[in-house]
Amino acid sequence: MFSFICGTLTLNLTLALFALVCCPGSGEKAFTVHVRPKKLTVKPKGSLEVNCSTTCNQPEMGGLETPLNKTVLAEQTQWKHYLISDISEDTVFHCHFTCSGEQVSVSFNVSVYQPPTQVILTLQPTWVAVGKSFTIECRVPAVEPLDSLTLFLFRGNETLHSQTFGKGAPALQEATATFNSTAHREDRHRNFSCLAVLDLLSRGGDIFHKHSEPRMLKIYEPVPDNQMVIIATVVSVLLFLFVTSVLLCFVFSQHWRQRRTGTYRVRAAWRRLPQAFWA
Ligand SMILES: *[C@@H]1O[C@H](CO)[C@@H](O)[C@H](O)[C@H]1NC(C)=O
Ligand SMILES: *[C@@H]1O[C@H](CO)[C@@H](O)[C@H](O)[C@H]1NC(C)=O
Ligand SMILES: *[C@@H]1O[C@H](CO)[C@@H](O)[C@H](O)[C@H]1NC(C)=O
Ligand SMILES: *[C@@H]1O[C@H](CO)[C@@H](O)[C@H](O)[C@H]1NC(C)=O
Ligand SMILES: *[C@@H]1O[C@H](CO)[C@@H](O)[C@H](O)[C@H]1NC(C)=O
Ligand SMILES: *[C@@H]1O[C@H](CO)[C@@H](O)[C@H](O)[C@H]1NC(C)=O
């Protein structure tokens, strides 16, 4: 009984799977269009090659739509290989083929990029007292696209800050990251640096890394102003107490001696008194 139910269940599942694999939704195009590569990156004013192809055996028409300069490098009935030149901004291109009066078109994106070539790190100020704050600034001119860029600020091998950017204005291809930090005593032995990473993997490109020159801070011990005031006050109060006590001691001892000698004089006079009478 159990094995019978199991068998039916398996059969039903197999049938369902078979239906899914063999009979996709109707109304599908009888042919497809492909473009290789699907995503491309190019430097400003650069050129690149693309291949538009179709599964249609005898396409009536086919090609690449673009207002830019294009050259057919090679072609056969089912494909066309193009060179597109002078690409200066991000562009969407379309490959299309017409088969039995039906047109199919696919698009592909080309991203214009400039890898970071200059990474400029500045520390402001360069002379800092321990515990005081300073500003680290990293500037990368002529880099795009900004939304694929990350700037990392390092103290030695420790990441202090990382910054990403939104889509920048097309004319402004400069990125800046700033971070305020506090100077440590050990910082005099550490290098500060900045790393720019342009990650174009999702756009069909590579990853570019560029490090700044390392920079060092000049660290000095702070003048402990309020600490100094406290110490000075305590020392002067102690000095005052000491001087006062020495003075008081002196005054009292003088006074005591005077009183003692004063008593002696009185006694001597007292002793002398009967002599004065009897004389
Ligand atoms: C263009 O693509 C088609 C289909 O993938 C391929 O047969 C053909 O060799 C490619 N042409 C060039 C020049 O790469
Ligand atoms: C295409 O290239 C030719 C010569 O290479 C040039 O004369 C023409 O102006 C270019 N056209 C465009 C739209 O860039
Ligand atoms: C092209 O880029 C647009 C946004 O810029 C995106 O929506 C689209 O999916 C991309 N197409 C391809 C084929 O990557
Ligand atoms: C940084 O370098 C020090 C020694 O130079 C090491 O002990 C420490 O683990 C490193 N930290 C990281 C995050 O790599
Ligand atoms: C860093 O400090 C300066 C001056 O103290 C201040 O003007 C600036 O806004 C601070 N920047 C950040 C990113 O906190
Ligand atoms: C800091 O950078 C300089 C120059 O690259 C290098 O000579 C020095 O060894 C570095 N110091 C430390 C502590 O990493």
* 6-40: pLDDT as tens digits: 444 444 444 444 444 444 433 456 899 999 888 88
Residue 174 Cα to ligand 3 midpoint, Å, equals 24
Q: Residue with the nearest Cα to atom 8 of ligand 2?
A: 69
Looking at the structure, tell me whether residues 103 and 190 fall in a common domain. no
Looking at the structure, tell me whether residues 64 and 128 fall in a common domain. no
Among residues 166, 198, 220, the one where a domain terminates is 220
pLDDT band at 119 (very low <50, low <70, confident <90, very high): very high
Looking at the structure, tell me whether residues 68 and 89 fall in a common domain. yes
Is the residue at 191 inside a domain? yes
Is the residue at 273 inside a domain? no
116 and 143 Cβ atoms separated by less than 8 Å = yes
Bigger pLDDT: 3 vs 128: 128
Looking at the structure, tell me whether residues 136 and 212 fall in a common domain. yes
Ligand in closest contact with the CA of 68: 2
Is the residue at 86 inside a domain? yes
Residue 49 predicted with pLDDT over 80: yes
Q: Is the CB of 83 under 6 A from ligand 2?
A: no
Residue 247 predicted with pLDDT over 80: yes
Ligand in closest contact with the CA of 77: 1
In sequence order, what E strands does the chain have? 33-36, 39-42, 46-54, 61-65, 69-76, 79-87, 91-99, 102-112, 120-124, 127-129, 133-140, 149-155, 158-164, 175-182, 192-199, 207-211, 218-220
Count of structural domains, the chain: 2
The overall average pLDDT reported for the chain is: 84
The domain spanning residue 43 has which CATH number? 2.60.40.10
Looking at the structure, tell me whether residues 163 and 101 fall in a common domain. no
Looking at the structure, tell me whether residues 162 and 95 fall in a common domain. no
Residue 262 Cα to ligand 6 midpoint, Å, equals 83
Compute the C-alpha angle 212/110/31, nearest 5°: 150
Instruction: Encode pLDDT of 187-243 as tens digits.
Output: 989 999 999 999 999 999 999 999 999 999 999 987 666 777 777 788 888 888 878
For the CA of 191, the nearest atom of ligand 6: 1
Looking at the structure, tell me whether residues 127 and 216 fall in a common domain. yes
Looking at the structure, tell me whether residues 94 and 155 fall in a common domain. no
The domain in which residue 83 lies consists of 30-112
End-to-end alpha-carbon separation of the chain, Å? 160
CA 163 – CA 178 distance, rounded (Å):
9
> In 174-212, which positions are buried (b, 16+ CB within 10 angstroms) versus exposed (e)?
ebebebebebeeebeebebbbbbebebeebebeebebeb
Is the residue at 97 inside a domain? yes
113 and 200 Cβ atoms separated by less than 8 Å = yes
Residue 90 Cα to ligand 3 midpoint, Å, equals 11
Looking at the structure, tell me whether residues 99 and 162 fall in a common domain. no
Is the residue at 75 inside a domain? yes
Looking at the structure, tell me whether residues 53 and 100 fall in a common domain. yes
Is the residue at 238 inside a domain? no
pLDDT at 249: 76
Is the residue at 258 inside a domain? no
For the CA of 86, the nearest atom of ligand 2: 14
Is the residue at 66 inside a domain? yes
What pTM was estimated for this model as a whole?
0.70
202 alpha-carbon distance from chain centroid: 20
Looking at the structure, tell me whether residues 104 and 153 fall in a common domain. no
pLDDT at 19: 40
Among residues 112, 143, 173, the one where a domain terminates is 112
Among residues 174, 193, 220, the one where a domain terminates is 220
For the CA of 157, the nearest atom of ligand 4: 1
